[in-house]
Amino acid sequence: MHKLLLLSIAILLFACQEEHKQSQKDQRQEFLVQGEAQGTTYTVKYIGTEQKELKTKLDSLLYEVDKSMSTYKQTSLISQLNQSDSGRIDSMFETVFNMSVDISLITNGAFDPSLGPLFKAWGFDYAGPTAMDSAMVDSLMNFCGMNQFVLTDGFIQKRNKAASLNFNAIAQGYAVDLMAALLRKHGINEYYVELGGELKVRGKNTKNELWRIGIDKPLGENLERELQHIVKLENKAMATSGNYRNYHEIDGKKYSHTIDPATGFPVKRNILSATVMVSSCAYSDAFATAFMVMGVEASINLIEKVDRISAILIYSDEHGNIQSYISQDLKDQIEEL
């Protein structure tokens, strides 16, 4: 009887050990990498096996992006080009330049990184805000337009030395795309990559569910981050542009950080934020900026015309109430709050 009891206990312990091993095998383990880059922070979550060298590689990648396209670094390729009449660029710069030309055409000029002279004059980069009048704006617009730059075999020639580029509305999204590509190169196929609010996801989270992403309610400073919507994102990138927090105050007037290429002045529209979801975070980033320029109606027309674009536009109606436009393909992926 005593031997039988010991045998039963041994069998039970063996069964528990095997069950525990199987549970560990079935569990989806998440790893976290965080850091600072491009004047903001990044967060990477991935499912799989820990890769301790990943942070070093991500930091090196983001450093290279800054060396190419950061307007805050005087030694970057874009800063050197902006200070001269020509310059040789790298493959990252060339890719983003060509993307910008493409998106500018699709949005009928609403996306335009050639507004560098206006960004600087309005104080939307590292310069201080300046009061502007129509004459000043008109004079600077003579140096704007993507046709001011001629790209040939990795070399850009400017038609006017005063012309300058600013990729801040696309470079961060492009960096997210590069980060995601780095993860895939290392065999990671399920991840969440976020840099300064721009993000890209693939696969599912630890609960084997689609990644759930919150979209802010555009209210003032929104320091408490009250959410307007939650979207279940599947193998896509997402970027949000909004004027409710990004503005300068000049002589008591608030000016949004988004400049209308058609006028040279900051936009004044009822659209509060634009969230765009496509496969590329660079394109999401740029389209979100363009929609802030275009306004609600024109943006909806483009969204419904181009199949690959999914979007949520938050705007105020004629009575001052907050409304949302949600593209049809997102209807079953949105959680209302």
Going from N- to C-terminal start, the domains of the chain cover 72-158, 210-336
What architecture is the 72-158 domain classified under in CATH?
Orthogonal Bundle (1.10)
pLDDT of residue 222: 46
pLDDT at residue 331 in the model: 87
Distance CA 331, CA 337 (A): 14
Average pLDDT, the chain: 87
The model's pTM is 0.88
The average pLDDT across 133-145 equals: 95
DSSP state of 266: B
pLDDT mean over 178-186: 98
Beta bridge partners of 290: none
Query: For a pLDDT cut of 70, what percent of the chain falls above it?
Result: 84
Please tell us whether the domain made up of 210-336 is placed in CATH 3.10.520.10: yes
- Confidence check: pLDDT of 156 > 90: yes
Beta partners for residue 237, in sequence order: 200, 278
DSSP symbol at 153: T
Min mean pLDDT across 49-63, 156-170, 234-248, 286-300 is at 234-248
In this predicted structure, what is the pLDDT of residue 219? 67
Q: Quick one: pLDDT at residue 13?
A: 47
Q: What count of other Cβ atoms lies within 10 Å of the Cβ of residue 218?
A: 20
More confident residue, 42 or 265: 42
Whole-number pLDDT of residue 164 = 97
**pLDDT of the residue at 37:** 92
